Amino acid sequence: MKPQPHLRLTYKTKPDQPLALSCRVGIGQLEAFRTKPWHNCLAIWDMGASNTSITQDVVDALQLSHHTFVRVDTALGSAMAPQYLVSILLPNGYQIKSLAVTLGKMVAPLQVLIGMDVIAKGDFSLVRGKETCDLHFTCPSLGLDNHHKEVKRLRALDAPDKPKVAPFTPNQSRNSPCKCGSGEIYKRCCEEKHRAEQAEAWKAAQPQVPPAEEAEPVPAAGA
């Protein structure tokens, strides 16, 4: 998969449910020691977490060995946790190598928590719509100005609440006799037909934007 600098994920929102920013990522051993393929994991983006963490089943699947212990602060207090060096493959194909992650506990089927150590490597934003929320992540960073321009461009291309109107250029004066020879003036004769033809041609010439990847929802605990 060829890496793309801009990652866009779309989540369906419900007023009575919290939004879980989840997606699929690959976790792998360090490039120099890789003997196993990427381990496909369900991850959640968490801007309140300082560091990225993985679960014990990821450690077991990749046969990782910790290289040190670090202190981790959680809502339940502080504790020492083993730290591992891994590579992470984001959905847009961008790979972050030699990422230090800690061992953590999560509600199944979550296996990875993406913290600010990853988010800070790029430009991150959330754009809420009426029924959806788009996660935009540009990595490596292109600068916030360029990031916001790309987000604005994508929204303008596919925003359903702002339909584009095809331009119309009449081929003669609207009040002159229609060139078809009907005897009627143009605006009461062939104008609507020509307007529809131009609109169809304009629509066919518009750039086709691939739909945003729909993120996988996180099942409720015990589901």
Where do the domains of the chain lie?
A: 6-160, 165-199
pLDDT of 209 higher than 70: no
pLDDT of 175 higher than 70: yes
Which of 22-36, 122-136, 156-170 has the least mean pLDDT?
A: 156-170
Domain 6-160: give its CATH architecture: Beta Barrel (2.40)
Find all residues with CB under 8 Å of 90, minimum gap 6, and list them. Answer: 7, 25, 96, 137, 139
Q: Give pLDDT tens digits for 130-146.
A: 788 888 888 878 787 77
Q: Give pLDDT tens digits for 6-52.
A: 888 888 887 777 788 899 999 998 875 667 789 999 999 999 899 99
pLDDT of 210 higher than 50: no
Residue 12 CA to its chain's centroid (Å): 12
Cis status of the peptide bond prior to 163, with omega within 30 of 0: no
What average pLDDT does the segment 111-115 reach? 95
* Phi then psi dihedrals of residue 50, to 5 deg: -70, -40
Q: What is the predicted pLDDT for the residue at 162?
A: 47
Of residues 154 and 103, the one with the higher pLDDT is 103
- Report the C-alpha gap between 180 and 46 in whole angstroms: 65
According to DSSP H, which parts of the chain are helical?
A: 56-62, 116-119, 144-158, 191-204
Q: What is the predicted pLDDT for the residue at 222?
A: 41
Report which DSSP code applies to 23: E
Is residue 157 very low, low, confident or very high in pLDDT (cuts 50, 70, 90)?
low
Q: What is the mean pLDDT of the chain?
A: 82
The amino acid occupying position 114 is: I
- Report the C-alpha gap between 88 and 61 in whole angstroms: 15
What average pLDDT does the segment 218-223 reach? 43
Is residue 223 very low, low, confident or very high in pLDDT (cuts 50, 70, 90)?
very low
- Report the C-alpha gap between 70 and 83 in whole angstroms: 7
Contacts 24+ apart (CB under 8 A), 143-152: 147/6, 147/123, 150/6, 151/125, 151/127
Could you tell me the two tokens for 76? 């339940």
